[in-house]
Every structure is written in structure tokens, then in C-alpha cells.
């Protein structure tokens, strides 16, 4: 994550839509925390996609 000129400990606030609400919520975290959250989300998505590709179709036998 280390990009020149960006402090990983700097606090960054973002506005995110909340499911079931029309009012967005302001969430603040460090750059490092945002990076970790994004990376974990990407890894989780990749894992789900890998699992879906390995799942056999119903009735395919075996």
C-alpha cells in the first residue's frame, strides 16, 4: 500500500450508503485500515468465485 506521499496513519473519512436506509453514513478510518478492508473484500470475492468454478453442476455425477 505504501505510496509516496500518503501517510498510512492519516485518518480518511468516506460516505457510504447503508442498506435499508436512504441516509448515507460517514465512516472514518486510517488509510491502512481502508486498504486492509478493501484487500479482505477482494480476497473474499476471489474465494467465492474460485469456489463457484469448482462446484459441480447438479446431476453431473461424481
Mind listing the pLDDT tens digit for each residue in 33-45?
Answer: 999 999 999 999 9
Q: What is the domain extent for residue 28?
A: 11-52
Of 33, 32, 28, residue with least CA distance to 16: 28
How many other β-carbons are positioned within 10 Å of the β-carbon of residue 7?
11
Q: What is the residue-averaged pLDDT of the chain?
A: 88
- Say what the pLDDT of residue 54 is: 82
- 41 within some domain: yes
- Residue 3, helix vs strand vs coil: coil
Q: pLDDT under 70 in the chain at which residues?
A: 1-4, 55-62
Residue 25: inside a domain = yes
Number of domains in the chain: 1
Q: Which pLDDT score is estimated for 21?
A: 94
Inter-CA distances, 23 with 26, 27, 28, 32, Å: 10, 13, 16, 26
**Is residue 17 assigned to a domain?**
yes
Residue 34 lies in a domain: yes
Amino acid at each position: 500500500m505504501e505510496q509516496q506521499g500518503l501517510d498510512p496513519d492519516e485518518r480518511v473519512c468516506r460516505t457510504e450508503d447503508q442498506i435499508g436506509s436512504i441516509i448515507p453514513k460517514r465512516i472514518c478510518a486510517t488509510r491502512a485500515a481502508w486498504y486492509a478492508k478493501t484487500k479482505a473484500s477482494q480476497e473474499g470475492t476471489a474465494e467465492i468465485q474460485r469456489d463457484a468454478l469448482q462446484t459441480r453442476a447438479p446431476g453431473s455425477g461424481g
